[in-house]
Amino acid sequence: MVGITSYGAYVPFWRLKKDSIQKGFPGEKAICNFDEDSISMAAAAALDCLKGVERERVDGLFFASTTSPYCEKSSASMVAMATDLRRDIATADFAHSLRSGTAALKSALDAVKAGSAKNIVIASADCRMGVPGSPFERNFGDGAGALMVGDCDVIATVEASHSVCDEILDIWRPDGDVFVRSWEPRFTTSQGYLPVVNEAVSGLLEKCRLTPKDFTKAVFYSPDGKSHIQVASKLGFDLNTQVQDPLVDVMGNAGAAMPIMLFVAALEEAKAGDRILLVSYGDGADALCFQVREPIEKLAERRGLKGHLASKKLIDDYRKYLFWRGLLPTERRVETVSFVSVPAIHRERDAILRLQGVKCCNCGTVQYPPQRVCTKCHTRDRFEPYRLSDKKANVFTFTGDYISNPTLERPIMTTTIDFEGGGRMQCYMTDCDSEEVVPDLTVEMTFRKVGFRDGIHNYAWKSMPVRG
């Protein structure tokens, strides 16, 4: 029996009130901070999914997005570093299609079924942009979802799947463009979404010899929070009792990640015996049928979609979003490092990306960054690797920088933190209210982008007040 063995999600802390984009529009959308992107969000969702799972067990990592930071370079390998996985794993990048998330899921299910892997994590994230002021901009939201696929302690088995391929220029973005394009909604809905989703789900029902009332939950990708209602009703699903709320006015349409995130939402409420329909859309549609099993009761605690949705801060200044996305020019900022050294990054990659420190085998002192000579007992080269990314820490001292980059972040909080279990680190703090930062505040670590320079997206870990 193959299926889902764990799940996780990530919704950015910041929510932009839609009213601030254009007056009168209700609700909010999740927007990633200037230091986030699809890779950082996918890592966060994957880490959520891996709560209670030994990293050593994972032998595959698939990344899925329409907004990969690189056109040529794996994002999956970066997520694998952030989640501190083994080297001998299968990785793959699923890209360019709103169905990338379910494509990764289907491939993972097929791989485990075929025996080429045993525990694959799929992590899907998106941060799509619509032209400022457009309905796309209002509807899109940033976020990520992750699922672990395996054949042991399965919480939801995959029963069947049915896919339809439909070549159409309804919604697309060519290489080099920043904003998603579309033909008019009259065309895209009537010729794309509605008939194709109908076709895929009908095909699945026929394949399984099931009817809508056999399902506990129906999870549909919804481009706008409305269109799914039409097709769900037409198929015969009950809007009130069966159809998963797509949360477009709560977090927004998260693109390729949306089906995965909404599936997580459904799993959070599911119990053994439930049957769940999962539908994605994009140049065709994937429809999958899952059966929830008993192990779902025994899953370790995680934030999931619910926990992330509940932890938020509202922004009502639209310009903040525009600055964060680089859509507004800013004044020259003094650059310091005259160049980025790839060899330096490469030899430090375990320390930087895995947040791996060392523990002295002689005196037990935890140190970050890794040292050759122990800071305490001066023993040379007797260390074992020590993961810090999953440890909580206390703020020992901090400051807020008001002048370095005021349009992007003011103040830029920096902290000196002491980890539970040992180790001290100086790092930026993110996603915080500067007024609430005090000595002894408890923080957790988060994987973020610290800059883009010389064509290189640089990632590192920052501290963050524990997301309540």
Partner 1 sequence: MESIKDRVAIVGMGCTKFGEMWDQSHRDLVVDACYEAFEDAGIEPKDIQMGWYGSRETGFTGTQLASALKLEYIPISRVENFCAGGTDTFSNACYAVAAGVCDFGLAVGVEKTKDHFGGFNMFIVEPFDRTGVEWELSPASQFAQLATRYFHHYGLSYEEGKLILAKIAVKNHHNGTLNPKAHFQREITVDKAIKAPMIAYPLGLFDSCGVSDGCAAAVITRPEIAKNLKKDYILVKGLGLACGAGQSVLQPEYDFVHFPEAVAAAQAAYRQAGIQDPRKEIDVVEVHDCFTITELITYEDLGLSPRGKAPEDVEAGTFNLEGEVPVNTDGGLKCFGHPISASGLRMIYEVYKQLQGKAGERQVRDAATGLTHNIGGINGFFTGAVAIFGRSD
390 touching partner 1, by CB under 8 A: no
402 touching partner 1, by CB under 8 A: yes
Residue among 212 and 451 whose Cβ is closer to partner 1: 451
Classified as helix, coil or strand, 293 is: coil
Residue 426: how many other CB atoms lie within 10 Å:
13
168 touching partner 1, by CB under 8 A: no
Report helix angle 194-208 to 227-235, nearest 10: 30
427 touching partner 1, by CB under 8 A: yes
362 touching partner 1, by CB under 8 A: no
457 DSSP β-pair partners? 452
Tokens representing residue 441 in the block: 């505040």
Longest dimension (CA), the chain: 72
Among 67, 90, 68, 36, CA closest to 449: 36
Residue among 306 and 457 whose Cβ is closer to partner 1: 457
376 touching partner 1, by CB under 8 A: yes
338 touching partner 1, by CB under 8 A: yes
368 touching partner 1, by CB under 8 A: yes
The interface with partner 1 within residues 59-78 (CB under 8 A) comprises none
Q: Is 398 left (phi over 0), alpha (psi -120 to 50) or beta?
A: beta
Among 92, 216, 110, CA closest to 163: 110
CB of 449 to partner 1, least distance (A): 10
450 touching partner 1, by CB under 8 A: yes
361 touching partner 1, by CB under 8 A: no
Select from 216-224, 226-234, 248-256, 414-422 the region that touches partner 1 (CB under 8 A).
Answer: 414-422
Q: Using the rule CB under 8 A, which residue among 74, 91, 191, 371 binds partner 1?
A: 371
Residue among 208 and 460 whose Cβ is closer to partner 1: 460
- CA–CA dist 280, 259 (Å, integer): 6
Tokens representing residue 422 in the block: 């040992």
- CA–CA dist 60, 46 (Å, integer): 12
CB of 345 to partner 1, least distance (A): 4
110 touching partner 1, by CB under 8 A: no
Task: Assess whether the previous peptide bond of 369 is cis (omega < 30° from 0).
Answer: yes
Question: What number of CA atoms fall less than 13 Å from residue 320's CA on the CB side?
Answer: 14
Whole-number CA gyration radius for the chain: 22
CB of 380 to partner 1, least distance (A): 14
For partner 1, how many residues bind (rule: CB under 8 A)? 50
Amino acid at 75: S
Select from 115-123, 263-271, 275-283, 335-343 the region that touches partner 1 (CB under 8 A).
Answer: 335-343
Task: Assess whether the previous peptide bond of 212 is cis (omega < 30° from 0).
Answer: no
Residues that bind partner 1 (CB under 8 A): 332, 334, 336-341, 344-345, 348, 352, 365, 367-369, 371, 375-376, 396-404, 411-412, 414, 416, 418, 422-428, 434, 439, 450-451, 453-454, 456, 458-460
